[in-house]
Amino acid sequence: MDPVKTYEEKDAFARHCGVEVLEIGKGTARGRLKIGPEHLNGVDIVHGAAIFTLADAVFAAAANSHGYVAVAINVNISYLKATKEGILYAHAVEHNERGRVGCYTVTITDAAEQTVALFEGLVYRKF
């Protein structure tokens, strides 16, 4: 069974927003968002919610990659660079595989590989 296809079928909101999960590994995931006019805010830069949605979807894919349910209990995002167009990429990395609480970071970059945002998240693992 393809974990990327399974994830994309289940996450209707991420799919609706245009998030594509490209790869899922044990405790990791990568994704992207092609920026369109619907992703811009009132000052013509990518809306923070669009960036957050990309980060959150990739975070969820990584956190749920072990075969049991993991749900977010706390997240934080720092926006470091404004962007207006192109493609944003997200890479989630797990920092602890064991225990009920999992810690992840997601780095969001633009096509020039400049960091746009940093996301940190904690999940509760239900096993």
pTM confidence score: 0.94
Read out DSSP for 77-99? EEE-----SSEEEEEEEES--SS
Q: pLDDT (tens digit, 0 to 9) for every residue of the chain, 127 residues total?
A: 676 767 777 889 999 999 999 999 999 999 999 999 999 999 999 999 999 999 999 999 999 999 999 999 999 999 999 999 999 999 999 999 899 999 999 999 999 999 999 999 999 999 8
Which tokens sit at 113? 């590989």
- Structural domain boundaries of the chain? 3-126
3-state class (DSSP) for residue 123: strand
- C-alpha closest to that of 66 among 99, 39, 44, 40: 99
Tell me the CATH number for domain 3-126. Answer: 3.10.129.10
Amino acid symbol at 119: F
Taking phi over 0 as left and psi of -120 to 50 as alpha, with beta for the rest, 15 belongs to alpha
